[in-house]
Amino acid sequence: MKFSQIPGQKDIIDRLIGSVRCERVSHAQLFSGPEGCGSLALALAYATYISCENRSGNDSCGICKSCVKYEKMIHPDLHFVFPVIKNKREDPVSDSFIGEWRDFVRKSPFFTLNSWLDSIGVEKEQGLIFASEAAEIIKKLSLKTFESDVKIMIIWLPERMHLSTANKLLKIIEEPPDRTLFLLVSEEPDKVIPTILSRCQHIKIPGFTGDKIKDYLISKYGSSSEKAAEIARIANGNIIRASDLFENQESSLQNLDSFRSLMRYSWKRDILSVIRWSEEMASRGREAQKGFISYALRLLRENLMLSLDQQKHRLVYLGGEEVTFSEKFHPYINQRNVYPLTEELNQAFYHIEANGNARIIFLDLALKVVRLIR
């Protein structure tokens, strides 16, 4: 991964390059930032840069032996720790999934924990860095370097680490083996144990700017400038969300349509149409049903913001037809009904995930909406 492959974050990149140039690379660093800010990509590019045999003032060379191995993520001095799921083995470690991990990260370095876990197992499984990982970490770091001057261990989501692993890691961060660099990449640093936090240099990474996300959508998907700008605004700095929104525009329109129908029938107390609506929802696939509910939750939240915000639109992330709809709809959402509505949607989501009867779930949901919307 080269720095130039990251669409933005120039200030952070300059700072990282500067640390190498001044030979002030702290041996334990924590990259923290919200989902979709590119923190893992930055850590990878930084590691590649540090290890590059022929780096320039602004990027790694991309062609030396080290860069080639870093690109494939098979460099013997590059180690990864990341959340995994329990498989048939009693105590899984990251290396049990290293092949899948390499393939996944190389496809795109911008992804969520859920999408990673989905790719290695069933949904709903908890992803953790298990206690068994501690021995692996110590073993790997006790080795001499093979090809580089420095061993680099990238730990993705240390907040997912078993306490005993964290404690063992603490000792090794305190007295690091020779020429070892830890790069911890966290989305929720407040959940990392404080004794680890206090031993790391912190690099706070902001979300991507709207302009950078817009450029990214145009170059990746050939999006129109208007559409890219609109999605960039809704994505609010999260590049993963921006891609999702772009790739799912059609389902997004369908979801808006379903949401609008439900609200209209409910307001009119048109029970026959409400029943037909719930039958139609029940006929969709499970993922589409969950997608609708997530969408409805977002729309509710944004409409509440519209109702509350005196200087309208400042905090609202809506696009296209959603704006037109919400202009009229938001007065119906208030602090009184937004909690029970949210609760009902969450319940429905939960029941769908648990494989409940979709016809009953959606009819029940729709009838609750009839009662709550007036």
At closest approach, how far in Å is the CB of 176 from Zn ion? 24
Q: CA-to-CA distance for 154 and 232, rounded, in angstroms?
A: 29
At closest approach, how far in Å is the CB of 13 from Zn ion? 16
Residue 231's nearest CA partner among 244, 66, 293 is 244
At closest approach, how far in Å is the CB of 47 from Zn ion? 12
Q: Which is nearer to Zn ion, 2 or 79 (CB)?
A: 2
Q: Which is nearer to Zn ion, 52 or 300 (CB)?
A: 52
At closest approach, how far in Å is the CB of 311 from Zn ion? 50
Residue 195's CB is within 10 A of a number of other CB atoms, namely 13
At closest approach, how far in Å is the CB of 63 from Zn ion? 6
Q: Which is nearer to Zn ion, 151 or 214 (CB)?
A: 151
At closest approach, how far in Å is the CB of 156 from Zn ion? 23
Q: Which is nearer to Zn ion, 64 or 338 (CB)?
A: 64
At closest approach, how far in Å is the CB of 59 from Zn ion? 9
Q: Which is nearer to Zn ion, 4 or 283 (CB)?
A: 4
Site residues (vs Zn ion, CB under 5 A): 52, 60-61, 64, 67
Length of the chain measured in residues: 374
Q: Which is nearer to Zn ion, 67 or 157 (CB)?
A: 67
SS (H, E, C) the chain: CCHHHCCCCHHHHHHHHHHHHCCCCCCEEEEECCCCCCHHHHHHHHHHHHHCCCCCCCCCCCCCHHHHHHHCCCCCCEEEECCECCCCCCCCCHHHHHHHHHHHHHHCCCCCHHHHHHHHCCCCCCCEECCCHHHHHHHHHHCCCCCCCCEEEEEECHHHECHHHHHHHHHHHHCCCCCEEEEEEECCHHHCCHHHHCCCEEEECCCCCHHHHHHHHHHHHCCCHHHHHHHHHHHCCCHHHHHHHHHCHHHHHHHHHHHHHHHHHHHHCCHHHHHHHHHHHHCCCHHHHHHHHHHHHHHHHHHHHHHHCCCCCCCCCCCCHHHHHHHHHHHHCCHHHHHHHHHHHHHHHHHHHCCCCHHHHHHHHHHHHHHHHC
At closest approach, how far in Å is the CB of 320 from Zn ion? 44
Q: Which is nearer to Zn ion, 64 or 113 (CB)?
A: 64
Q: Which is nearer to Zn ion, 64 or 282 (CB)?
A: 64
At closest approach, how far in Å is the CB of 61 from Zn ion? 3
Q: Which is nearer to Zn ion, 64 or 288 (CB)?
A: 64
